[in-house]
Amino acid sequence: MKAFIRDAVVAVTAVSAALALTACGPNTATGPGRDNADDAPTIAVLLPDAITARWETQDGPLLEEKIKKLCEECTVEHANAKGEVALQQQQMDSMISKGVDAILLVAVDGRSLAASVRKADEAGIPVIAYDRLAGGPIAGHVSFDGEQVGRLQGTSLLQGMASRAPDDQIVMMNGDPSDPNAALFKKGALSVLTGRVKIGKSYDTHQWRAEVAHMNMTGAIAALGAGNIDGVYAANDSLAAGSISALRANKVAPIPPVTGQDAELAAVRRIVAGRQYMTVYKPFAPEAASGAALAVAAARGENLGKVAEDTVTARDGTKIAAVMLTPLAVTADNIKDTLVKDGVYTVRQICAPGLWAACGKAGLT
Ligand code: GAL
């Protein structure tokens, strides 16, 4: 919290400040980025873009809710970098000069943000790498096993293509190479697909944009021939959407199996309708819960080992306290037992008019 606001608040609400400190526990006054002993913690939540739905529709609101639950008096400062590295660097600078107590960062570009992470660390502000492991001195990390995500996608794709010929050809739509997860997804997928199918074309997708995937798939269809694409490895649901729209625009029928990731509502509907084969569901609530717990503990200057039992190794060899969660493959068969059961979507939300018959078939009634 800024000093001038802080002074006013403290003067007016001395009693509630005292209560808040008690609620926050004995370590509250000693948080690393704290500029005053009776200051309620401020946590910055820095999201990467509004291109992929999950950040603003799932992670943002869940993080805010879970931070408030753990620390009622905490203030959350939320910013979105709109896919721009320079804007995220500015947002990091601004949070550092505000003197926030912890930063929860989903880096637009893992390498380019390392210098900002270092600046925050030097200012005594711990940075939690949420979902993507940015470079620099990261205090804590929560994510899913990215290679396992890729293996789930690759394995499901082979299952979806099982009835096809052995010389099947696929197109790969990989994520943005500046996202550290994209290489992990690709590596995991290739570990399953290499030698099992022919990879006709493989693209990396700037900013995970559906329209870039659409353009690349249009090129792949022109180069390989509409009838020669037997499966599409799409690293997430935006890339699945772009690939499928290009296949449909080029009258490819039936649509070959297409993978995805993020369990977006539109993707779940495509899966029910038989237009997308699968998605990877990385449960949002536990990821946000761990992200919030790490950020609150970091803001209070507590040991993150209490929240995070695992560790991951940074590029420079340092061990980082981490929570690593398990991703799940979702096809039409298990939407009910996963996404509906966890309350991510109701059957009503998924089963838009026009999907009722397909929903019945998928057991979504
Ligand atoms: C990854 C993330 C995925 C997906 C993608 C695109 O880092 O793990 O869930 O959303 O970014 O934003």
256-301 pLDDT, tens digit per residue, is 999 999 999 999 999 999 999 999 999 999 999 999 999 999 999 9
* The two three-digit tokens of residue 324, written as one number: 């690593």
**Residues 142-201 pLDDT 10s:** 999 999 999 999 999 999 998 666 679 999 999 999 999 999 999 999 999 999 999 999
pLDDT at 4: 36
* The two three-digit tokens of residue 1, written as one number: 């919290």
pLDDT at 164: 61
**Cα dihedral 250, 251, 256, 257 sign:** positive
Give me ligand 1 centre to Cα 199, in Å. Answer: 23
Share the mean pLDDT of the chain. Answer: 90
pLDDT at 13 over 50: no
**Cα dihedral 276, 278, 284, 285 sign:** positive
Distance between terminal CA atoms of the chain? 49
Report residues whose beta carbon is within 6 angstroms of any ligand 1 atom. 52, 54, 131-132, 175, 179, 181, 208, 236, 261-262, 282
Give me ligand 1 centre to Cα 79, in Å. Answer: 17
Closest CA to 293 of 329, 315, 265, 322: 322
Residues with Cβ within 8 Å of 18's Cβ and at least 6 positions away in sequence, in order, are none
Ligand 1 mutation pick, 57, 109, 262, 282, max ligand atoms within 8 A of CB: 262
pLDDT at 165: 61
Share of the chain above pLDDT 70, in %: 88
Ligand 1 mutation pick, 80, 131, 259, 330, max ligand atoms within 8 A of CB: 131
pLDDT at 18 over 70: no
**Atom 7 of ligand 1: nearest residue by CA position:** 181
pLDDT at 6: 38
pLDDT at 223: 98
Give me ligand 1 centre to Cα 13, in Å. Answer: 41
pLDDT at 19 over 90: no
H or E element in which residue 5 lies: helix 3-12
Angle subtended by helix axes 60-70 and 284-299, to nearest 10: 50
- Average pLDDT over every residue of 111-139: 98
Distance between CA atoms of 279 and 276, rounded to whole angstroms?
8
pLDDT at 166: 63
pLDDT at 227 over 60: yes
**Atom 3 of ligand 1: nearest residue by CA position:** 262
Q: Are 210 and 243 in contact (CB under 8 A)?
A: no
Give me ligand 1 centre to Cα 144, in Å. Answer: 10
Give me ligand 1 centre to Cα 181, in Å. Answer: 7
* The two three-digit tokens of residue 228, written as one number: 């020669």
Give me ligand 1 centre to Cα 165, in Å. Answer: 32
pLDDT at 24 over 70: no
> pLDDT grade, residue 84 (50/70/90)?
very high
Distance between CA atoms of 23 and 101, rounded to whole angstroms?
17
**Residues 310-356 pLDDT 10s:** 999 998 899 999 999 999 999 999 999 999 999 999 999 999 999 99
- Average pLDDT over every residue of 64-81: 98
Give me ligand 1 centre to Cα 56, in Å. Answer: 12
Predicted TM-score of the model (pTM): 0.89
DSSP state of 197: B
pLDDT at 167: 75
Return the ∠ at Cα 290 (arms to 268 and 46), rounded to 5°. Answer: 80
Beta bridge partners of 142: 130, 323
